[in-house]
Structures are given as C-alpha cells and as structure tokens.
Amino acid sequence: MSRLETADRSRIETHQLGRLQEGLGRILPANRFYRRKLLQESEIISIERLADLARLPFTSKRELVSDQEEHPLFGANLSYPLSEYVRFHQTSGTAGRPLKILDTQESWDWWAECWTSVYRAAGVSRDDIVFLAFGFGPFIGFWSAYEGAKRLGALTVPGGSMDSLQRLRAMQEIDATVLVCTPSYALRLAEVAQEHGIDLRELSVRVTIHAGEPGASIPATRERIEQAWGARTYDHAGMTEMGAYGFACSEQQGIHVNEGEFIAEILDPATNQPVGEGQVGELILTNLGRWGCPALRYRTGDLVRHGGYSCACGRSFLMLPGGVLGRADDMLIVRGVNVYPSALANILHRFPEVTEYRVIVTKNGPLDEIALQVECPTALISTIQEEMRVALNLRVPIEPVELGTLPRFELKAKRVVDHRPRL
Ligand SMILES: [Zn+2]
C-alpha cells in the first residue's frame, strides 16, 4: 500500500490540488476542448484551492461524442500532437456511438500504474501468474489490466482467441493464480468447468478480479464466484474515458476510489450538490495523470454511496460501499418501487439452482413492469418470488426456462431486455 493511501485527508487533498494544477498547466496550451470549456469572460478559470474544482463545468459523454463528430476523427480533447499518441481504444457503444480514445505513452503508463493499485489491494504480487480470460480487441479494460500486471512484475498470460474450455485448460496447464474477467464470465467459466468435470477449486487460482460491470460487489454474486473458484473475489471499477479508478481491499465491502490519481465528487443528480456520508449520488470524477486525453468533472452516470474515509484495511481513500450500485439510467420504477438490476442479481445468485436469468421490462400505460425468465427447476419459482416480495416489496412474475436456453456472456452481460417503446 502506498503511503498516500493511509495519509490524513489534508495530505491527500494537497496532493490532489498539486496534481490538478500541474495537469491544467499541461492541458491548456494545446487542448482545444478544455480551453474552450474553461474559458470564462476571456479568462481561464483558475484553481487556487481544491474547492475551486466546483467552478469548472461538468464534462459529459454526450459532449465528448459530439466533439468527435464536429472534429473527426478523434475530437479536440487532445493535449499533444497526434504523433505523440500510441494507443487507440473505444467504448463498447452500448449507449450510443462508440467514443474513440487515444493515449500517449505517458498516459498509458499512468493507466498501468493505476492497475497496480488494483492488484496490490487484492494481494497480488510479482510471484503471481495472471490469466486474462478475454478476447483482446479495442475495449480498454483488459489491455490495461495486462499492462498493470506486467508493471507489477507478474507473469501475464493473454487468453484471447480461445473458447471457454481452452481457457480453463490453459489456466490448469500454466498454474494461473489470478483470473481477470467480467463477473458474468467467471460464472460462465464455472458452468463450462462443471460440464467437463473440472473442479475449479483444484486449480491454483486464488484471486479473481472483476471489471466491466457490477457483480463482484454484489454479495450473493461474489459469494457464488468465490465458492465456484475456491478463491477470493475482488471488484474493480474503471471507464474507458476515465481510467481505472477504484479497487476492492481485503475487507471486500465495496471499492475505494484511488484518490492519488482521481478526484471524486458524489452529487445529488437533481441539485448537483454534494451528498452527505451514507447517501447515494452520481459519481463525478477528474483524472490526475491522463493528460494526453483528460476528463475533468466527468459525469460517470454511475450511482454510488458515500462511505466516508475510514476502512478497517487502514486506507483513508474514499469508500464506496457496495461498489457501483448501478447506472442512473438503469433504475426501474415498478409500481412505485425503485429496482436496480443489481438487487435482482443479489437475490437470484443466492440460489445455487439458478444458472442464468433475464429481466424483461415492458410498459403498462405510464408504468414500468418487470418479469423474469429464470433457468431453474419449476419447484423453486415460488421460493424466489417470496424472496423478491420480502426484499423488494414486489410481486414479480417468473417464468422458468430450460437449462442452457438463455444467452451467456464473455464480456458485459446484457440481462435486461427492454421492450419499452423508445421516446
Ligand atoms: Zn479498505
């Protein structure tokens, strides 16, 4: 653990202010996107104290996407000449047009360094063998995980161009001790292992690290992964346009924001005012080292709970209990009850007989309705329904479906099928 991770808050804030000021000095001469945004009455907004950050305008994904449309191909959020950039990645584009992101070597090294914090917090060291169960494409997550493991000094194994069984065999053969993949895929691998008579608990994997979607911070999902793999499971949070900003510690109660490299604000989406400890709001992030393609006061759209600054692990970095709770636009309002897909996962994953499920969302007049399709024995349906009623105060129609009929996922799962008319 770095010294800053356990430092008192004033030291952390002094560090953040220094980094932000230095970064602005590097961004502003050439970055047309932020130069324009930070210009107010012919003066650039100056940052004298950390509280001045609140004077800067927000950055939204929509804004970055339309900037790339206006200034093809890569937009105006570049602080250096194009020849300085060495990495190209893009977002998955699930919520619209993919965003193209470039990194300089310096920014890419910063990504890798952020990932070393994720590994260290999970107890991973240079003695580990890290297997990345992922087809390497333009999605940034696992490339940066790969670079981070290399930087840590661990033996790093790419698992691209393999099917699930080949990946399992490869992990067996090389004695992998760490698995990095999405939480959905860790469960899919467990299912394939079972089909082929492989007992994952006999593998050398002792740590699994998950990114790309909530899951490893949902207690029932985490427990299911840990039991299948006989390993400890850690959550990680990151975004293509932001960086690898959060990691789970040994307490496994959620994620810490890496405040050495990011500034976090948690704001009430309705008022844009900071929420108090214990309350839920939208996470707004500023990165402090990706100067080639920075993001200042970026609206992540992710809802998180403010968990204060103390943790049994000794870190004083901001805690987000339960990790990312969901996207602000994922929340469903069913008969007046707020339902997050993660809450459904937390109930369904408690039942070992449930192998996969899907949430069907429809509209009944002005109201959202949900129904579930669940791969499980028919006899279990009424028990699951009762659990849902107790936990969510909702009666949810559930249709049992045959084992193996619902889709499986290697990357982010798409378990919510939205049949509501588009507005
Ligand atoms: Zn902690």
Dist. CA 304 → ligand 1 center (Å):
16
Q: What is the pTM of this model?
A: 0.90
For the cut 90, the answer to whether the pLDDT of residue 86 exceeds it is yes
For the cut 90, the answer to whether the pLDDT of residue 338 exceeds it is no
For the cut 70, the answer to whether the pLDDT of residue 100 exceeds it is yes
How confident is the model at residue 1, as a pLDDT?
79
For the cut 70, the answer to whether the pLDDT of residue 94 exceeds it is no
Q: Where are the beta strands (DSSP E) in 127-170?
A: 129-132, 155-158
How confident is the model at residue 89, as a pLDDT?
97
Mean pLDDT of 148-167: 96
Dist. CA 331 → ligand 1 center (Å):
27
Task: Please state, for a pLDDT cut of 70, what percent of the chain lies above it.
Answer: 99
Dist. CA 314 → ligand 1 center (Å):
6
DSSP class of residue 149? H
Dist. CA 307 → ligand 1 center (Å):
11
Mean pLDDT of 51-67: 95
Dist. CA 257 → ligand 1 center (Å):
10
Confidence of residue 95 (pLDDT cuts 50, 70, 90): low
pLDDT per residue over 127-151, tens digit each?
Answer: 999 999 988 889 998 899 999 999 9
pLDDT per residue over 237-288, tens digit each?
Answer: 999 999 999 999 999 999 999 999 999 999 998 899 999 999 999 999 999 9
Dist. CA 181 → ligand 1 center (Å):
22
Dist. CA 321 → ligand 1 center (Å):
10
Cα–Cα distance measured from residue 142 to residue 211, given in angstroms and rounded to the nearest whole number: 9
For the cut 90, the answer to whether the pLDDT of residue 413 exceeds it is no
Dist. CA 316 → ligand 1 center (Å):
8
Dist. CA 317 → ligand 1 center (Å):
8
Cα–Cα distance measured from residue 187 to residue 190, given in angstroms and rounded to the nearest whole number: 5
Dist. CA 274 → ligand 1 center (Å):
22
How confident is the model at residue 423, as a pLDDT?
60
In which region does residue 30 sit, left (phi positive, over 0), alpha (psi from -120 to 50) or beta (all else)?
Answer: alpha
Dist. CA 305 → ligand 1 center (Å):
15
pLDDT per residue over 347-360, tens digit each?
Answer: 999 999 999 999 99
For the cut 70, the answer to whether the pLDDT of residue 65 exceeds it is yes
**Nearest-CA neighbor of 95 among 297, 239, 286?**
239
Dist. CA 153 → ligand 1 center (Å):
24
- Give the rounded distance of the alpha carbon of 132 from its chain centre: 16
Mean pLDDT of 105-112: 98
Dist. CA 323 → ligand 1 center (Å):
12
pLDDT per residue over 184-220, tens digit each?
Answer: 999 999 999 999 999 999 999 999 999 888 889 999 9
Coil vs helix vs strand at 395: coil
Mean pLDDT of 17-37: 96
Dist. CA 122 → ligand 1 center (Å):
11
How confident is the model at residue 5, as a pLDDT?
97
Mean pLDDT of 402-417: 89
How confident is the model at residue 214, as a pLDDT?
82
- The better pLDDT of the pair 367, 57 is held by 57
Q: Mean of the per-residue pLDDT values for the chain?
A: 94
Inter-CA distances, 304 with 266, 280, 340, Å: 8, 5, 12
